[in-house]
Structure 1
Amino acid sequence: MKLHLIGEISSVAEGLKLVMGNVNFQLSHDGHPVHVKNQNGPIRVANKNGYGEISFEKTIHFFRALGLWMEHFQDETEFDVTEEPQFEMSGVMLDASRNAVPTVPEVENLLRRMAVMGLDTLMLYTEDTYEVKEHPYFGYMRGRYTFEELKALDEYAEKLGVEMIPCIQTLGHLKEALKWNYAAAFRDTDDILLVDEPKTYEFLENCIKAATEPFKTKRIHIGMDETFQLGLGKYLQQHGYENHIDLMNRHLQEVVSITEKHGLKPMIWSDMYFPLFAEDSKYKDETGKIPEDLIAQVPDVELVYWNYYSKDQEIYEKEIKNHQLLGKTPIFAGGAWTWNGIAPNYGKAIVTTEAGIAACKKEGVKEVFVTMWGDNGAETPFATSLPILQLFAEHTYHQDVTPEQVSKRFEFCGDGHFADFMILKKLDETPGVMKDNMNTSMTSKVLLYQDVLIGLYDENICGLSLGEHYEKLVPELEKAKQNNSAWGDLFGFYEQLARVLSVKAEIGITLKDAYEKKDYEQMKSILIKLDEIQTNVDLLRQKHRKVWFAAYKPFGWEVIDIRYGGVITRIDSVKYRINEWLDGRITSLEELEEKRLRHDGPWEIVDGLVGGNVYHRIVTAGNFSL
């Protein structure tokens, strides 16, 4: 469609060129006239008497408004719509540290989609995946971003009204960064820095400078979450035991002094201060307040309250109020649940988002963002997060949001059908799993990687007919692939995963049953199925590889290749063992003589399946790497 934009477009002119493909329009003097006003107040889009209007305050509001105008114009000749932003900042955190490092073009693609949705902030979570020239082993062979790449992304984002904020770690979650010998002098445990060590702060100043110099913003997220072993490694040996709150405060003050030196405004994850909030907290006085002298010891940083686990709005409200005991309203971080395993957990993502965002609106939280983690290999393509980003976006501009509203907007902003994307949750939300998969069963990951002959999870899935479940899922995903041409490769990957699991899910149970009955004909037929599984797993690997290399740098794919290769190669050995038994060269298959037990950890068992697990605990009961 041709548009003739009249009025105040100088501030958005460069961004307009970037989003033309997303919004599907061209600028032309003979196009439909739309008057653009940059003014305080809500977003307004209208079309009356053959004449359009767009009113916006911030640059990001213009791009959302442009999309809204185009969307309404497709269906109506006359309309007048206003939207009131609910938050001062609403954005995205994209994990670039768990194997998958998105390419610059793919981040630019995300930025364009965010702009049309109206999300105004992007944080790239980089533990060691940014270049620190003083430390060449920092991020070595991990796909780290160069200064030039980050600067280019920041300039691209600015044209769209998106602020890019560097997000790093300055205490824990640094296992990959600290594994090299250069870090020996300032390593407390394998993933935590050594507090009070001068070399720690020399290292951190190098990191902070490298992470922030490509960006125009003065804001920086310096992490510091989940440091449960703080002070319990080398620090303990050198100084003895010290309370972790005291260590946190002292270390944080040192890091803040570095950020102040460079004119930066830091934020941290707030979870290591949660002991202050406990009902039986020894830090509270008799009135339930945190003493002023203790509050004064907490350095001046913004606190980010992350929670994407509860569907209870009151829990979020309570925790927000707890943060306010420290004298400040927190930033809120929800989750898209892209880290469940191989498939997204949309059920949990939606119910936790609804509860968390409702609490934020009620308690006056001004800044929110949605996290897109990639735990244990980043096997779930981050593009699957887009429906949840759309949900966040709609909550950013409306007090109340309906599923129909999110679905309609996603069709325009995400080039896909919301209902079809929701089918993906069925890969993990299977028979035996509670509604919305609140206990994060990663059924598809477990069943793909678990060993056919060892069957660590076979006892958990007995009687659930999961093979039949996945068999029925294949045509659903095939239809979704046909319905979503922009996402054909993504749905093709998941269709193939369902196809693999339709046969592999219960093959171990069938194998053990045939062995115990000495059913030689059944065992021979299982050999044919194993050939089929091998072929289909390799095809799955190829489809996954295509999706990966369309979005990510190559570093990290070697891990996924090895995982797929493990499935394929182990099946080869399983066939060898079965043939040895069938041919009488061995009298028993010891793996099948073992009584099957329910999987008992290390993660919680729920709903007949496994709540969550990591690759090396799925594939063997032995030591995978030690």
Structure 2
Amino acid sequence: MQNQEDIVNPLNTDGGLQEVAVQDVSSGTLNWTNDTVKAPAVRELLSVLGAEYPVVQGVAGSGCVELEVVLDAGSPLVVSADSGRATVTAAEPSQIARGVGILLSRLCVDGEIVERTGFKTRGVMLDCSRSAVMKPSYVKQYITRLSLLGYNMVMLYTKDTYKLPGEEYFGYLRGAYSMDEIREIDAHASRLGVEVVACIQALGHLEPVLRWPAYADVRDTVSVLHTGAERTYELISKMLDFWSQALGSRRIHLGMDESYGLGRGRFMDANGYRPPTELFRNHLAKVRELCRLRKLRPIIWSDMCFRLSNSEMDYYAEPSASGSQVLEQIPEDVQLAYWDYYHQDEAFYIRRLKAHQAISSGTMMASGIWTWPQLWYNHRKTADTVAPCISACGKQGVEEILFTMWGDDGACCDWSSAWAGACYCAERLFNGNNEPGAALMESRFAAVCRGNYGDHLLASEMSVVNDDAGLQASAVLWDDPLLGIYWKERQAADGDFWPRALQRYRRISLGLEGRPAGSAGDLTHAALIAGLLGKKIELSCELHQAYRRRSPRLIESVMRMIPDIIDMYEELHLSFRRQWHDRCKTFGFEVIQGRLASLAARYRELRMRLGELLAGRINEIAELDETISTPKGPPSTHFESLSSAYVNSVTTL
């Protein structure tokens, strides 16, 4: 990792903008000509940026800035400005794009900004498998904005959401990408100097495919491929052929993570027990050979390598004596990606990176921009985990870093709200992992992402991600009003939990009231969520009090509140619908739509039950009578575990 001590930028030591940073050389359009931009690749880049931003080919007029760009191998990113002229110098197109972003952000003064980063690959992974499959136009917009922040790689996580010839059930009713759509995305990214890498699944996590009878012959378990079936490798060959032909990159991420139960299903029925370490090693060897034949360089998530090295199947445990052989047998040309979005201790990351580097010299780090299972990007969790991760990577010389944006539990997050996280992470990558100041972030976010950064962070406070005492906004939204699974777990753990949560949502709702929607995250949508969650908590507080007292007056008051909540659920449904169809293919929205409709129905049921209680037709509401005294384990947060006590599984949609 390169030394970043010589970075010069308009930051104070506390990350805030210097007082001298007052002159704005980018208040007008950035104009460039063939004389000021020599490199064809950079001309192409600027032309793409000009479709959305004030970057125009032509002689600068009054109020415009004359832009010169120099592509210089080995140079750091240097942005200099003087009297209506600006120069961007960098070693690669993606850093040129970041330099343009600096000018658009109105951060440059008479002088220069110099940035260095030791990360040769700076990537973001977009989850296009959990219900939401982003439209190519939205992916391209994402890539454009990421390039202005300095990213140079995008992964598309696609379990089964791409079309394979002769496999009509692969991606069936899932909004699968055609090869032409992927090529369109790749061509756009290439013009911006961004590499697109496929991130697929070639062992586990294939439940959307394996649910169909057409794939019974390749099914080991509900989510894991049958490693003893010849047809399995015919299917994987088709996967590799698709991506080999669709993308210019010769890298491919094969997934192969969390392949629990490997060899314990139909494989064992047919072949008897074989150690999963043996099955994993053999499968990896076969798929690696299929990649070699297509000149593809494979990447896999590292967790199964480490899980299989200890009896607890624990990603973070030390390998046993016999388990060490599993790690030693990982081929050198298979790149490991170490995913960790949870830890907040730099020493922990260093320890795990050393374990990876002992068996794989080119380890890729995968941190996270927290979009799962969230309704809005979670900034606090992102910042708390990204900072120590980046610091550890710097000390261990890691050159490739990826920020994942997962869509667990139905992809209900406002994906555009995560631009705030992408912006934040980029600043840390290019500025010595220092905490960026608020003024810098506001300027950068407004210019590149067209939104208000402070408002996005306020909305992100809807969730407090903490295993012991956290508040999960999506769990509040999905919690059944009668069963109250999440309500009762939190109440039993902390009697003051819900009054605090109510005050939080009232504060957020008030702070977002009347804020323009913007073209980053939809703040109107966020305000609606916060308002609904506050009303829902308020109703539940009054409901339980009214029921305990059997007070007709209080029960009638609760009944009067219910129609407003049903109306708010319908308003939220329409907001989700608008957002979904603007950005994603239609498939998958039925998941969100069904959940919201079922919750509205459950509130109508609650109102009927309260009416029957008042009328004397029933003497109790059994769901409200049942409670728990001491919660065991982490709280239930996913829709399936909140909609009924009969089902308790994490969604894989």
Give TM-score, length-normalised by structure 1.
0.91
Give the one of 537, 549, 560 matched to 2:592. 560
Aligned to 1:3: 31
Alpha-carbon distance between aligned partners in 1 of 2:117 and 2:648, rounded to the nearest angstrom: 50
Deviations 1:591-617 (A, max 9, x none): 33x23225846xx33xxxx3x532111
Structure 2 SS opposite 1:344? coil
Give the one of 306, 315, 318 matched to 2:351. 318
Alpha-carbon distance between aligned partners in 1 of 2:619 and 2:477, rounded to the nearest angstrom: 29
Structure 2 SS opposite 1:248? helix
Give the one of 25, 28, 32 matched to 2:58. 28
Is the alpha carbon distance of 1:140 and 1:506 closer, same or farther for their aligned partners in structure 2, counting shifts above 3 Å? Answer: same
Aligned to 1:111: 143
| Aligned amino acid, residue 344 of structure 2 | K
Alpha-carbon distance between aligned partners in 1 of 2:330 and 2:141, rounded to the nearest angstrom: 43
- Structure 2: stretches of 5+ with no match in the other structure: 1-28, 310-315
Is the alpha carbon distance of 1:406 and 1:69 closer, same or farther for their aligned partners in structure 2, counting shifts above 3 Å? Answer: same
Residue 206 of structure 2 is aligned to residue 171 of structure 1 = no
Is the alpha carbon distance of 1:544 and 1:394 closer, same or farther for their aligned partners in structure 2, counting shifts above 3 Å? Answer: same
C-alpha deviation, 1:473, in angstroms: 2.0
Alpha-carbon distance between aligned partners in 1 of 2:317 and 2:105, rounded to the nearest angstrom: 48
Alpha-carbon distance between aligned partners in 1 of 2:630 and 2:476, rounded to the nearest angstrom: 13
Q: Is the contact between residue 341 and residue 442 of structure 1 (CA under 8 Å) also seen in structure 2? A: no
Higher helix share: 1
Is the alpha carbon distance of 1:441 and 1:555 closer, same or farther for their aligned partners in structure 2, counting shifts above 3 Å? Answer: farther
Aligned to 1:619: 643
Deviations 1:312-364 (A, max 9, x none): 01111111100122142310000011003323322111111001111111100
**More off after superposition, 326-335 vs 311-320:** 326-335
C-alpha deviation, 1:250, in angstroms: 0.5
Give the one of 160, 172, 178 matched to 1:128. 160
Size of the aligned set, in residue pairs, is 600
Q: Is the contact between residue 479 and residue 487 of structure 2 (CA under 8 Å) also seen in structure 1? A: no
Residue 320 of structure 2 is aligned to residue 281 of structure 1 = yes
Give the one of 566, 591, 595 matched to 2:626. 595
Structure 1 SS opposite 2:513? helix
Structure 2 SS opposite 1:495? helix
Alpha-carbon distance between aligned partners in 2 of 1:514 and 1:101, rounded to the nearest angstrom: 44
Residue 434 of structure 2 is aligned to residue 410 of structure 1 = no
Structure 2 SS opposite 1:213? helix
Alpha-carbon distance between aligned partners in 2 of 1:366 and 1:2, rounded to the nearest angstrom: 32
Deviations 1:134-169 (A, max 9, x none): 210001000110111001110011001111011100
Aligned to 1:526: 558
Is the alpha carbon distance of 1:403 and 1:36 closer, same or farther for their aligned partners in structure 2, counting shifts above 3 Å? Answer: closer
Q: Is the contact between residue 154 and residue 197 of structure 2 (CA under 8 Å) also seen in structure 1? A: yes
Structure 2 SS opposite 1:7? coil
| Aligned amino acid, residue 137 of structure 2 | P
**More off after superposition, 43-52 vs 301-310:** 43-52
Aligned to 2:134: 102
**More off after superposition, 577-586 vs 525-534:** 577-586
| Aligned amino acid, residue 32 of structure 2 | H
Q: Is the contact between residue 463 and residue 472 of structure 2 (CA under 8 Å) also seen in structure 1? A: yes
Deviations 1:522-569 (A, max 9, x none): 111111101111111111111122122221111110110000001111
Q: Is the contact between residue 105 and residue 448 of structure 2 (CA under 8 Å) also seen in structure 1? A: no
Residue 298 of structure 2 is aligned to residue 263 of structure 1 = no
Is the alpha carbon distance of 1:205 and 1:309 closer, same or farther for their aligned partners in structure 2, counting shifts above 3 Å? Answer: same
| Aligned amino acid, residue 119 of structure 1 | Y
Alpha-carbon distance between aligned partners in 1 of 2:277 and 2:535, rounded to the nearest angstrom: 51
The list of structure 1 runs, each at least 4 consecutive aligned residues, that deviate by more than 6 angstroms after superposition, is none
Give the one of 371, 384, 387 matched to 2:404. 371
Structure 2 SS opposite 1:547? helix
Alpha-carbon distance between aligned partners in 2 of 1:231 and 1:64, rounded to the nearest angstrom: 47
Residue 421 of structure 2 is aligned to residue 388 of structure 1 = yes
Alpha-carbon distance between aligned partners in 1 of 2:328 and 2:108, rounded to the nearest angstrom: 55
- Structure 1: stretches of 5+ with no match in the other structure: 285-289, 430-435
Deviations 1:507-531 (A, max 9, x none): 2342233123221111111111011
Aligned to 2:96: 62
Aligned to 2:13: none
Alpha-carbon distance between aligned partners in 2 of 1:67 and 1:227, rounded to the nearest angstrom: 41
Alpha-carbon distance between aligned partners in 2 of 1:191 and 1:442, rounded to the nearest angstrom: 30
Give the one of 455, 458, 471 matched to 2:484. 455
Structure 2 SS opposite 1:375? coil
Identity across matched positions, percent: 28
| Aligned amino acid, residue 456 of structure 1 | I
Deviations 1:74-124 (A, max 9, x none): 763x22122123211101100000000000110011011011111000111
| Aligned amino acid, residue 621 of structure 1 | A
C-alpha deviation, 1:580, in angstroms: 1.7
Aligned to 2:384: 351
**More off after superposition, 148-157 vs 242-251:** 242-251
**More off after superposition, 395-404 vs 311-320:** 395-404
The 5-angstrom pairing of residues 82-93 of structure 1 reads 82-93=114-125
The 5-angstrom pairing of residues 471-620 of structure 1 reads 471-478=506-513, 481-482=515-516, 485-487=518-520, 490-592=522-624, 594-597=625-628, 600=631, 604-605=633-634, 610=635, 613-620=637-644
Deviations 1:385-441 (A, max 9, x none): 112211222233222322214454333322223222111232122xxxxxx646694
Aligned to 1:432: none
The 5-angstrom pairing of residues 114-193 of structure 1 reads 114-193=146-225
Structure 2 SS opposite 1:225? coil
Alpha-carbon distance between aligned partners in 2 of 1:575 and 1:327, rounded to the nearest angstrom: 60
Is the alpha carbon distance of 1:283 and 1:412 closer, same or farther for their aligned partners in structure 2, counting shifts above 3 Å? Answer: farther
Alpha-carbon distance between aligned partners in 2 of 1:426 and 1:571, rounded to the nearest angstrom: 26
Residue 284 of structure 2 is aligned to residue 252 of structure 1 = yes
**More off after superposition, 63-72 vs 261-270:** 63-72
Give TM-score, length-normalised by structure 2.
0.87
Alpha-carbon distance between aligned partners in 2 of 1:534 and 1:599, rounded to the nearest angstrom: 32
Alpha-carbon distance between aligned partners in 2 of 1:418 and 1:406, rounded to the nearest angstrom: 7
Alpha-carbon distance between aligned partners in 2 of 1:599 and 1:338, rounded to the nearest angstrom: 30
Alpha-carbon distance between aligned partners in 2 of 1:294 and 1:356, rounded to the nearest angstrom: 23
Aligned to 2:43: 13
| Aligned amino acid, residue 328 of structure 2 | I
Q: Is the contact between residue 448 and residue 505 of structure 1 (CA under 8 Å) also seen in structure 2? A: no
Q: Is the contact between residue 3 and residue 29 of structure 1 (CA under 8 Å) also seen in structure 2? A: yes
Deviations 1:360-399 (A, max 9, x none): 1110001111000000100012112112211222233222
Aligned to 2:505: 470
**More off after superposition, 379-388 vs 406-415:** 406-415
Aligned to 1:287: none
Q: Is the contact between residue 462 and residue 472 of structure 2 (CA under 8 Å) also seen in structure 1? A: yes
Q: Is the contact between residue 375 and residue 473 of structure 2 (CA under 8 Å) also seen in structure 1? A: yes
Alpha-carbon distance between aligned partners in 2 of 1:294 and 1:153, rounded to the nearest angstrom: 36
Alpha-carbon distance between aligned partners in 2 of 1:159 and 1:513, rounded to the nearest angstrom: 61
Alpha-carbon distance between aligned partners in 2 of 1:294 and 1:307, rounded to the nearest angstrom: 18
**More off after superposition, 229-238 vs 530-539:** 229-238
C-alpha deviation, 1:11, in angstroms: 1.2
Q: Is the contact between residue 449 and residue 519 of structure 2 (CA under 8 Å) also seen in structure 1? A: no
CA RMSD of aligned residues (A): 2.2
C-alpha deviation, 1:15, in angstroms: 2.5
Is the alpha carbon distance of 1:30 and 1:142 closer, same or farther for their aligned partners in structure 2, counting shifts above 3 Å? Answer: same
| Aligned amino acid, residue 92 of structure 2 | K
Alpha-carbon distance between aligned partners in 1 of 2:395 and 2:119, rounded to the nearest angstrom: 12
